[in-house]
Amino acid sequence: MSIDTTDRKILAALQRDGRMSNAELSEQVNLSPSACHRRVQRLEADGYIRNYVALLDARKMSVPTTVFVEITLQGQAEEVLNAFEKAVARIPDVLECHLMAGTADYILKVVAENTEDFARIHRQYLSRLPGVAQMQSSFALRTVFKTTALPV
């Protein structure tokens, strides 16, 4: 299914505020509430909208430190990749894991309370990941820009 300009307006509005009422949304996109509701249901059914979530404040949750960890594996065999991916998905402090092209095989986005907490995460989880040959961690000094909104 393809989406039109109105669908894109709906998606953009919901990315800004996923809790807005259907009445508010329909007013923003110039549709009747029933037509807007049908479109949102179709966008959900077709997988354009996967889920609705609450975005938490990392500072208030006591995990203000972001660390990007580059990981190089010992090999690229399918079983090595699968074992690594299965193990890393179980680490609660890892927010993202990306298979990369380039010098590192994977990049992880990890949150921690501070450097001591990251040392604990490294010791308890990261150092035990299967197939790792090399690991390099970079601490974010400041977040300049951050969004979860995809371009529509």
pLDDT in tens, 17-74: 999 999 999 999 999 999 999 999 999 999 999 999 999 999 999 999 999 999 999 9
Single out the residue of 41, 132, 122 nearest to residue 83, CA to CA. 132
The correct answer on CATH 3.30.70.920 for the domain covering 65-139 is yes
Identify the pLDDT of residue 119.
98
* Count of alpha carbons within 13 angstroms of residue 53, beta-carbon side: 8
In this prediction the pTM is 0.91
Task: Tell me the helices (H) and strands (E) count for the chain, helix number first.
Answer: 5, 4
For the four alpha carbons of 110, 112, 114 and 120, in that order, the dihedral sign comes to negative
CATH architecture, domain 5-45: Orthogonal Bundle (1.10)
Phi, psi for 60 (deg, rounded to 5): -65, -25
Burial 3-21 (b: 16+ CB within 10 A, else e): eeeebebbbebbeeeeeee
| Cα 32 to Cα 62: distance, rounded to the nearest angstrom | 43
**Section 90-106 average pLDDT:** 97
Single out the residue of 83, 60, 57, 53 nearest to residue 71, CA to CA. 83
Would you kindly state where each structural domain of the chain is located, as residue ranges?
Answer: 5-45, 65-139
Identify the pLDDT of residue 51.
96
Please report the beta strands in the chain, taking only residues with DSSP state E, as ranges in sequence order: 65-73, 94-99, 106-112, 132-139
Instruction: Name the band, by pLDDT with cuts 50, 70 and 90, for residue 97.
Output: very high
Please report the beta strands in 52-131, taking only residues with DSSP state E, as ranges in sequence order: 65-73, 94-99, 106-112
Q: Is the pLDDT of residue 88 over 90?
A: yes
